[in-house]
Structure 1
Amino acid sequence: MATATSIKIDDELKQRVQHIAATHQRSAHWIMREAIREYVEREEKREAVRNDALQAWETYRANGKHLTQDEADGWLSDLEKGDDTEIPGCHN
C-alpha cells in the first residue's frame, strides 16, 4: 500500500525535476519516487557490502585463512576471460 508523504525542496531543484520529468514524459512525482527508490537500493547494497567485509574480517581474525592479492587477481582475471574457475582455497 502506498502512502503519501511530503518533502520540501528549493525552487531550483523543483525546476530541475520538472525539466527531467518533461524530457522523459513522466510526472515529477514519478521522477522523485524513482530517485528515492534508486538511492535506497544503492545504500542498501553499500550496507550489505560493508557488512560482508566486516564479517570477512572477523572470520579472518578468527582463523587466519586468506588469499594473497596475486591469487585473488589471478582468479578474477580467469573469471573476466570467461573461465568458470573455482575460487582458490584459502590458507594460513
Structure 2
Amino acid sequence: MATSLKIDDRLKGRVQQLASQRRRSPHWIMLEAIQQYVEREEARESFKQEAMASWAAYTQTGRHLTGEEVSAWLSTWGSDDEKPVPECHD
C-alpha cells in the first residue's frame, strides 16, 4: 500500500538532518517513527481496556487487593521467599 505523507518544510528538514546523523534514509526515519508511535498507542489502548475490564469486574464482584497487600507481595519479588499472587477478597 503506497501512502504519501505531507509534512511542512521545517519538519522535513529535521527528518533529513536526523537521517544524515543516523546514516539512514529519511524514509527509514519516518517509518521507524510511525511504527514506534503505533506500538506505543496500541499498548496504551490495551492497558486502558484491561483497566476498564478490571474496574467492571470490581464493580460487579467487589473483589480486590489493598495497596498494602500488593506492596507486600511485590516486595518479595526476586527474593528467595517470593510469594505467589495473593487471593482477592471482598
Q: Which string of whole-angstrom CA distances, capped at 9 and with x for unpartnered residues, describes residues 5-54 of structure 1? A: 11111111111111111111100000000100000000000000000000
Query: SS of the residue aligned with 1:78?
Result: coil
Q: Alpha carbon RMSD of aligned pairs, Å?
A: 1.0
Instruction: Quote the Cα distance in structure 2 between the aligned partners of 1:22 and 1:85.
Output: 51
5 Å matches for 1:54-65? Answer: 54-65=52-63
5 Å matches for 1:68-83? Answer: 68-79=66-77, 82-83=78-79
TM-score, L = length of structure 1:
0.89
Q: Does residue 64 of structure 2 align to residue 66 of structure 1?
A: yes
Structure 1 stretches of 4+ moved >4 Å: none
Unaligned runs of 5+ in 1: none
Instruction: Quote the Cα distance in structure 1 between the aligned partners of 2:83 and 2:19.
Output: 45
Aligned counterpart, 1:17:
15
Instruction: Quote the Cα distance in structure 2 between the aligned partners of 1:31 and 1:17.
Output: 7
Aligned residues: 88
TM-score, L = length of structure 2:
0.91
Deviation of 1:87 (Å): 1.2
Aligned counterpart, 1:51:
49
Percent identity (aligned): 51
Aligned counterpart, 1:39:
37
Unaligned runs of 5+ in 2: none
